[in-house]
Structure 1
Amino acid sequence: MTHGISMAGYMFVNPGEEILVPSLFWGNYNLSFINAYDAKIKPYNLFKGEGLDVAAMGAELMSEGDKKILLLNFPNNPTGYSPDVREMKEIISAVEQAAKAGKKIVVICDDAYFGLVFEEGIEAQSPFAWLANLHENVLAVKVDGPTKEDYVWGFRVGFMTYGIKGGTEALYTALENKTAGAIRGSISNTSNLSQSLLLEAFDSPTYQEEKKEKFNILKSRYEAVKQAMKNPDYAEFFKAKPYNSGYFMCIELKDGLDADVVRRLLIEKYSIGTISLNNLLRIAFSAVAVKDILALFDGIYSACKELTV
């Protein structure tokens, strides 16, 4: 995924150009776009109430300038939120409206956690499915890989897929050749061993069954988080940001608590690892057994209480 995001930057981002990202985003975008290609990250507000602030995204697309680069990441890292069916339609409509207004838009779909949706009514498809044939002014770029989708950490294999309405064979051939050249000029090639193992796995008659088994493990951990967060005591110190999918969820700490101070105390005293993001703590529930979920949140509660006294 990291290399795929980097290659998208190499292909489509010029120095000084802005990339529209949600206000809560994967920190590696800074390295991939700012450090590597001298681009600028321009966040738009992610949430409004308990859902997405699609209007904020749409306003940025319609702002001054003809070229727009939009990055969509669902399920979102760090929040673990994916749009419901209605919200996805609103996202696609906002992109289409900007395209019809003459904006030339590259939409990078970071699909690292594709398919990991745990609630009914949440859109299961990537935005790419609708963007790929949306409008002649919209180039959709799907970046994904098996690391999270197929639970193969360390394989370092990724995929890039392009789609644009009216795209010709010559256009796609040019994109493919330019992408291949960019890869050749950076890492030469992806591990042949990893690619071969993945092909064998994809061809296995038990592949879907095995993948479903791992999905169910993640879903059981997600359900345990939902159950734990029903504890009314937690509201004294933190509340959950909207979440429904992926590997992570975030809690927002009450005013007066420093997330990084809480994070350090959790490591030093409670052996609990989190990531601090301003006044949020990102929690990787995907890596916590169901039996330990309650202890995880009780530990966070205790650390917050200790720092408040």
Structure 2
Amino acid sequence: MTETDRLDAILARDAPAVARALSPLGRRAAFPRGIPWQSDQARGARINATIGQLTDGRGNPMPLDALSTGVADLDPQMTWLYAPVEGPRALRQTWIDRQRRVAGGPATRVSLPVVTHGLTHSLSVLASLFCDDDTTVLLPDPVWENYHLLFGLNAAPRFASWSFFRDGRLDVGSFSDEVAKVRGKLIVILNFPGNPSGYMPTSAEVDELVAALQRAHGPVVVVCDDAYQGWVYADDVHPRSLFWDLAERLDPEKFTVWKVDGATKELLFFSSRVGFLTHANTSGDAEDALLSKTKTIIRGTVGSPSGPAMALIQRGLSNGEVERQFSLRRQELGRRWSALAIGLERLSGSILTPFPFNGAFFALLAVADGHDPERIRLRLLHDHSVGVVAFPKAIRLAYCSLHADDIPLLVDRLVQVAE
């Protein structure tokens, strides 16, 4: 039996939803017993001549002083030497401990996260593992366009969409209808609070989303894109990532549930390119098999994650002030959110209608039928020196990058264009 056959047999036995959902590439993937595998086995050996990286012969790095002088307080091993393909275990454990803490301490069994080269890479890994020409990928409308690129780059799935808002509310009915239509493999991406919507659902809406998914035929891969986790400003929203509710309440015989998150927004480390990929409801041999397949995709694309960024994140998460500092940034953004929400009330009755927004970094304005969002974007840019992003039926405002003093001026110029 080949290693590929062994892993697939384990998943078929212990994680049937995963086994049924794998793409042909996902089924083939098995971590090779090459240099990383052999060097990992030799870790701790008295003489280790496995891996091609310069050390002092005792496992310590020998960086150039011209580079190392400014980062002397970072973990030298994590900063300068090759990381394990799946990322350093200490960082992976630190990250999942924080995720559990901010979610209120759920007891649900989840994997140790794998470190990726950012959230986009996490999504790309999932596309490689699960997406093929026989897959339906269900996305909201409006949507972050990169999902189409990531899941359509190496396969030709069917993309389906559900209407995100209707009459000023989350359109769970549209979501439920689209889920029920799919008879084969389904990938569902849930991005709350999200881009471009800036919306976090209430607990009642989460219950409705879970109920809609429970009626799916399967197999279903549910991807919780938690890029903006923690960035919520209203009190009446669901208090944690949907990942935990889905992991607790969806049948693992039919569903495999994944969490995509990272340092980009949660730690405001936009240049870090450090993401994490976690899945629920596997253990033992099945978890090891999925780790092997995930590592194979990572090894075949980026090799391993970036050491200096991981060392900075590990140090930051070990600082007792990090959560207080995050809270201060959230309060600042919450003030901008409140000012913008109040200001946008002036658009009532115009060709621009704000969708509900209570989180992430964005406000989304629906553009009335008969009006072109791209023309509105260009008019704002050329006539009013205001930059926004046009979507097919809306424009998006990223208030995260606005000075609070500029929000009234932004609203004034939106009103001028919308009249």
TM-score calculated relative to the size of structure 1: 0.92
Aligned to 1:156, which of 273, 276, 284? 273
1:171-218: CA deviation from partner (whole Å, max 9, x where unpaired): 111111111111110011221110110000000121111111111111
Residue 256 of structure 1: CA displacement? Answer: 3.6
The one of 62, 68, 75 equivalent to 2:193 is: 75
Residue aligning to 1:253: 367
- Work out the percentage of aligned pairs sharing the same amino acid: 28
Aligned residue pairs: how many? 299
Q: Corresponding residue for 2:207?
A: 89
Q: CA deviation at 1:62?
A: 1.9
- In structure 2, how many angstroms separate the alpha carbons of the residues matched to 1:230 and 1:72? 28
Q: Is the 8 A contact 2:388 2:396 kept in 1?
A: yes
In the TM superposition, what are the counterparts of 1:5-154 in structure 2 within 5 Å? 5-98=123-216, 102-133=217-248, 134-136=250-252, 137-154=254-271
Deviations 1:132-185 (Å, cap 9, x if unpaired)?
232121110111111111111110000100013xx3311111111111111110
Q: Tell me the CA shift for residue 234 of structure 1.
A: 5.0
2:407 matched to 1:287? no
Q: Displacement, 1:300?
A: 1.8
Q: Quick one: distance in 1 between partners of 2:206 and 2:345? A: 28
The answer as to whether partners of 1:234 and 1:301 remain within 8 angstroms in 2 is: no
Per the alignment, residue 305 of structure 2 pairs with 190
Equivalence for 1:270: 384
Is the contact between residue 134 and residue 185 of structure 2 (CA under 8 Å) also seen in structure 1?
no
Code of the aligned partner of 1:301? V
Give distance in 2, aligned partners of 1:36 and 1:220: 42
- Which of 287, 300, 303 is equivalent to 2:414? 300
SS of 2:259's equivalent in the other structure is strand
* Shift, 1:35, TM fit: 2.3
| Residue 64 to residue 220, structure 1, CA distance change in 2 (3 Å) | closer
Letter in structure 2 aligned against 1:239: T
Greater RCO (Cα-Cα under 8 Å, separation 6 or more): 2
More displaced stretch, 167-176 vs 250-259 = 250-259
Kept in 1: contact 2:350–2:418 (CA 8 A)? no
CA contact (8 A) 1:248 1:286 kept: yes
Give per-residue Cα distances to partners, 1:223-275, cap 9 Å, x unaligned. Answer: 111121232x5533321012111111111223443211111121122221111
- How many angstroms apart in 2 are the aligned matches of 1:262 and 1:45? 22
Aligned letter for 1:291?
D
CA distance in 1, matches of 2:174, 2:368: 25
Question: What SS does the aligned partner of 1:109 have?
Answer: strand
What residue in structure 2 maps to residue 168 of structure 1?
A: 283
What are structure 2's unaligned runs of at least 5 residues?
Answer: 1-118
Secondary structure, counterpart of 1:128 in structure 2: helix
- Amino acid across the alignment from 2:276: F
Report how far residue 16 of structure 1 moved: 4.4
Unaligned regions of 5+ residues in structure 1, if any?
A: none
SS state at 1:172 partner: helix
Q: 1:135 to 1:16 in 2, by over 3 A?
A: closer
Contact preservation (8 Å) 2:134, 2:184: no
Distance in 2 of aligned mates of 1:31 and 1:68:
17
Amino acid at match of 1:260: E
Q: Which residue number corresponds to residue 92 of structure 2?
A: none
Larger radius of gyration: 2
Q: Which residue of 2 aligns with 1:206?
A: 321
